[in-house]
Amino acid sequence: MASDPNILHSVSERISRPVRGSRRREIMEKFRAGGSLYRVHAQYSRQRTSKEKKGFNYDKTGKSRKVFKKIKAESVAETLLAPDARKVIEELYDQSAIHINGDGTIKGVLQLYPVRPFCVISFMESSIRSYDALVAQKDSVLSWDATGGLIKCQQSSSKQILYYELTLAHPNIVDEDTLIPLTFMLSESQSLMTVVQWLTLFKEGYKKVFPHKKDMFPRPMVILSDRAQIFLQGGLLVFNEESYEQFLARAYRMVTHQSLTDDFSKTNIHACLAHFMV
């Protein structure tokens, strides 16, 4: 092994060889297996020997966490099916239909993906069966929310794409803070019609899985959301076939003890005050 005694390093200067070859591939595989940036970096940091620490040798981790961040980005890039987002969705639709519940009633994961306006609606047969088994139980709570900033479709428009998700919680099946995902939607259109289309497609999927129950789509007792008007109205339209005005009239009858026979059997919307206060 060649050595050069004339090479000097400043005290506390971090020294590291480039992370290449099999070591780089090994780290990428850990990220693909679900490892987080901080967890994987900490794992390799613990492998440094006392001599390496004393000599400020960072061969195992790189000079900073940015090295692992770049490796993780490379691993994500390699998993892309195609550089074009629309092509990716088409290939994902075809592949999931073959490999996920290919012999079932509802095949795959993606159920609808119109290009303009951009929209992706996703659910599986298993999520429909979970909904059927749990939603009518006493302590089940259905909730939905939307968040922005996840994706921006550069090719078609500059509009923000929102991620919508419908989830279910039940204290006897999952932990208090754990949600069971049922269906999600990516959409650049934030309208009542879009939300209704999303849930109607899920409802139609239910009729395919349970044809003998096609006229008995289970209603949740309560659906929890933020104070977004499209959520409040959408829940009433899909689950109750009820307008907002009809809901207010029903609520008035209930609080004034003048309820009709089916008033209590319908879904009630719950606007979470925490969203408003935060």
| Residue 178 confidence (pLDDT) | 74
pLDDT per position as a tens digit, 151-208: 655 554 556 788 999 998 887 776 656 788 999 999 888 889 999 999 999 999 999 9
- pLDDT: which is higher, 165 or 91: 165
pLDDT digits (tens, 9 = 90+) for 45-55: 888 888 888 87
Strand partners, 146: 164
Residue 271 structure tokens: 């606007």
Give dist(CA 97, CA 110) in Å, integer: 8
pTM of the complete model? 0.66
Distances (CA, A) of 83 to 77, 95, 112: 9, 17, 21
Quick one: pLDDT at residue 216?
Answer: 85
pLDDT of residue 226: 81
pLDDT at 140: 84
- Identify the band that residue 15 occupies on the pLDDT scale cut at 50, 70 and 90: confident
> b or e along 18-50 (b: 16 or more beta carbons within 10 Å of the residue's beta carbon)?
ebeeeebeebbebbeeebeeeebbeebeeeeee
Using the predicted structure, report yes or no on whether residue 277 has a pLDDT greater than 60: no
Q: Would you state the pLDDT for residue 62?
A: 83
- Work out the pLDDT band at 64, boundaries 50, 70, 90: confident
Q: Over the stretch 210-261, which tens digit does the pLDDT of each residue have? A: 998 877 889 888 888 887 888 889 999 999 999 989 999 999 999 999 999 8
The mean pLDDT value of the chain amounts to: 84
Q: Where residue 23 falls among pLDDT bands split at 50, 70, 90?
A: confident
Q: What is the pLDDT of residue 106?
A: 92
Give residue 274's pLDDT: 60
Question: Which tokens hold the place of 43?
Answer: 């794992």
Q: Which residues pair with 167 in a beta bridge?
A: 143, 181
Q: What percent of the chain has pLDDT over 90?
A: 26
